[in-house]
């Protein structure tokens, strides 16, 4: 069971990410982390994986629109979104096939229940054996709960990713948290996708999934694809 990010140069260098891997994606605001996360999710769908996205900053509907509006050749029934936003806005939006509602980013119990329900649904009912979980983002969750609380939550869910041979991607805003937070959370992850601002736009590299960190690549976001340059 091997996963690809769908970012071709990086995938070649990594040579396949093994099931049960948890990756932290850290980068500055405006560097396109939402698109990169969705792109990783999209490539999972292309590979026949199920994808669960926990959305803490945008209503689930918007995330679903990202996929629907692009007319992609994917099975929408393989997408599950845990929406942590809509109900904090005071909207009583009902759950749908694709979108389950957590009460708020504080509601870690609810977020955990909804992730587990999607996992069960994809595994038992649709019988998909490869699943991606993208949490976008941990930074919002950290705004409402302290580090220890978030650590406990992640401890459980990175463990579930391992047990299910799934792939976990967790997004963090660079510059929003102190060093201790990042160092503490890093312990839970097998590798990182790091993003920084370069001279000529943003750059990314992968750490921990290859013997040495990869070089920094300039990248651009082209629709659903991330194109590396250099």
Q: Pattern of binders to other proteins over 67-96, x per CB under 8 A? A: --------------------xx-x-x-xx-
We find the least distance from the C-beta atom of residue 89 to other proteins, in angstroms, to be 8
SS3 content of the chain, % helix, strand, coil (to 5): 40, 30, 35
> Which region, judged by CB under 8 A, interacts with other proteins, from 52-60, 163-171, 182-190, 195-203?
163-171
Q: Rule CB under 8 A: choose which of 77, 120, 197, 220 binds other proteins.
A: 120
147 binds other proteins (CB under 8 A): no
Query: What ranges in the chain are assigned the alpha helix state H?
Result: 8-14, 33-46, 60-68, 108-120, 138-144, 147-163, 179-186
Q: Could you tell me the smallest distance in angstroms from the CB atom of residue 222 to other proteins?
A: 34
Q: Decide: is 188 part of the binding site for other proteins (CB under 8 A).
A: no
Residue with smaller CB distance to other proteins, 92 or 211: 92
Q: Which is nearer to other proteins, 163 or 183 (CB)?
A: 163
Q: Which tokens in the block code for residue 167?
A: 């792939």
187 binds other proteins (CB under 8 A): no
Is 229 an interacting residue with respect to other proteins (CB under 8 A)? no
Burial per residue of 196-219, b for 16 or more beta-carbon CB atoms within 10 angstroms, e otherwise: eeeeeebbbbbbbbeeeebebbeb
Question: Residue 79 pairs with which residues in a beta bridge?
Answer: 51
- What DSSP string describes 142-159? HHHS-HHHHHHHHHHHHH
Name the CA dihedral angle for 198, 199, 202, 205, rounded to a multiple of 10 degrees. -40
DSSP 176: S
Taking the complex as a whole, the smallest distance from the CB of residue 46 to other proteins amounts, in Å, to: 22
Q: Which is nearer to other proteins, 113 or 182 (CB)?
A: 113
Residues 93-112 that bind other proteins (CB under 8 A): 94-95, 103-104, 106-110, 112
Residue 167 pairs in a beta bridge with 21, 132
Q: Which is nearer to other proteins, 118 or 219 (CB)?
A: 118
**Tokens at residue 50, please?**
């199920």
As a whole number of angstroms, the distance between CA 110 and CA 96 comes to 16
Return residues touching other proteins (CB under 8 A). 87-88, 90, 92, 94-95, 103-104, 106-110, 112-113, 115-117, 119-120, 123-124, 144-146, 148-149, 152-153, 155-156, 160, 163-165
């Amino acid at each position: 069971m091997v996963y690809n990010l769908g970012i071709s140069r990086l995938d070649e260098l990594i040579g396949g990410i093994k099931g049960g891997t948890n990756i932290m994606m850290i980068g500055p605001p405006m560097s396109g982390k939402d698109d990169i996360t969705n792109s990783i999710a999209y490539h999972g769908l292309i590979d026949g994986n199920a994808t669960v996205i926990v959305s803490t900053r945008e209503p689930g509907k918007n995330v679903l629109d990202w996929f629907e509006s692009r007319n992609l050749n994917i099975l929408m029934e393989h997408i599950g979104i845990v929406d942590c936003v809509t109900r904090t806005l005071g909207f009583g939006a009902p759950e749908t096939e694709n979108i389950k509602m957590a009460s708020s980013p504080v509601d870690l119990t609810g977020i955990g229940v909804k992730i587990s329900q999607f996992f069960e649904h994809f595994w038992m009912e649709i019988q998909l054996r490869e699943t991606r979980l993208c949490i976008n983002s941990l930074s919002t969750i950290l705004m409402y709960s302290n580090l220890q609380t978030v650590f406990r939550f992640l401890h459980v869910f990175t463990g579930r990713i391992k047990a299910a041979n799934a792939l976990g991607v967790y997004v963090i805003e660079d510059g929003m948290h102190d060093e201790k937070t990042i160092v503490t959370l890093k312990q839970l992850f097998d590798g990182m996708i790091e993003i920084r601002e370069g001279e000529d736009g943003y750059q990314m590299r992968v750490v921990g999934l290859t013997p040495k960190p990869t070089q920094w690549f300039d990248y651009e976001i082209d629709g659903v694809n991330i194109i590396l340059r250099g």
